[in-house]
C-alpha cells in the first residue's frame, strides 16, 4: 500500500551528528576564491551515511546560495533532512585566507546556525537513535 502524500515519515536515523554546517570560502590565489560545503558535524554525518546507515545531521542553514549548496549536498548524501533547519539568515562562512597551514576566521554574526531549535526536531527521535555524535 502506498503511503498517502503529506504523512509524516515514521522511521528515524540510527546515527545523528550534531554540529555546525558551513561553507568554506578558500583563497586559491591573490584574487580567486573557491567555495566548498563543509562543517565538522556535517562531514561526520555524510561519512557515516556512505555505507547506507540511516543518518542525520542536526543543524541550521540559511536560504542563500551557499545554504542551497549545503542542502543539495545533504540530500545527495542521503541525510534525513528533517534534522536540518532553514532560517531567513545568512549561512555561516569560514574564510580560509591561507591554506598552508590553514588560517581562517568565521563570518556568522546573526547567522542561520544560531537559530537551531531542538524543539523543532521530529518527536521521538531521541528514543530511536542508537548513536549521537556531538561536536568535532
Does the pTM of the predicted model rise above 0.85?
A: yes
31 within a domain of the structure (yes/no): yes
7 within a domain of the structure (yes/no): no
DSSP codes, 56-79: EEEEEE-SSHHHHHHHHHHHHTT-
In sequence order, what are the residues at sequence separation of 6 or more whose Cβ sits closer than 8 angstroms to the Cβ of residue 68?
Answer: none
Question: What pLDDT, on a 0 to 100 scale, did the predictor assign at position 6?
Answer: 45
Question: What pLDDT, on a 0 to 100 scale, did the predictor assign at position 135?
Answer: 78
80 within a domain of the structure (yes/no): yes
Residue 80 belongs to domain with CATH number? 3.40.1190.30
Question: What pLDDT, on a 0 to 100 scale, did the predictor assign at position 107?
Answer: 96
Q: Quick one: which H or E segment has residue 32?
A: strand 32-38
10 within a domain of the structure (yes/no): no
96 within a domain of the structure (yes/no): yes
50 within a domain of the structure (yes/no): yes
8 within a domain of the structure (yes/no): no
Question: What pLDDT, on a 0 to 100 scale, did the predictor assign at position 3?
Answer: 38
State which residues form the domain around 104.
15-116
Question: What pLDDT, on a 0 to 100 scale, did the predictor assign at position 2?
Answer: 40
Q: In the chain, how many domains are there? A: 1
Question: What pLDDT, on a 0 to 100 scale, did the predictor assign at position 59?
Answer: 96
132 within a domain of the structure (yes/no): no
pLDDT in tens, the chain (136 residues): 343 444 455 689 999 999 889 999 999 999 999 999 999 999 999 999 999 999 999 999 999 999 999 999 999 999 999 999 999 999 999 999 999 899 999 999 999 999 999 999 999 999 999 999 997 7
Amino acid at each position: 500500500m502506498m503511503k498517502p502524500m503529506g504523512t509524516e515519515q515514521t522511521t528515524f536515523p540510527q546515527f545523528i551528528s550534531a554540529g555546525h554546517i558551513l561553507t568554506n570560502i578558500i583563497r586559491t590565489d591573490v584574487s580567486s576564491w573557491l567555495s566548498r560545503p563543509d562543517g565538522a558535524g556535517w562531514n561526520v554525518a555524510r561519512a557515516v551515511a556512505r555505507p547506507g546507515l540511516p543518518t542525520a545531521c542536526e543543524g541550521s542553514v540559511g536560504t542563500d546560495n551557499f545554504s542551497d549548496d549545503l542542502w543539495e549536498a545533504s540530500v545527495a548524501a542521503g541525510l534525513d533532512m528533517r534534522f536540518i533547519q532553514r532560517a531567513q539568515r545568512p549561512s555561516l562562512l569560514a574564510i580560509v585566507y591561507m591554506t598552508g597551514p590553514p588560517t581562517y576566521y568565521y563570518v556568522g554574526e546573526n547567522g542561520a546556525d544560531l537559530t537551531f531549535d531542538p524543539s523543532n526536531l521530529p518527536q521521538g527521535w531521541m528514543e530511536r537513535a542508537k548513536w549521537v555524535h556531538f561536536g568535532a
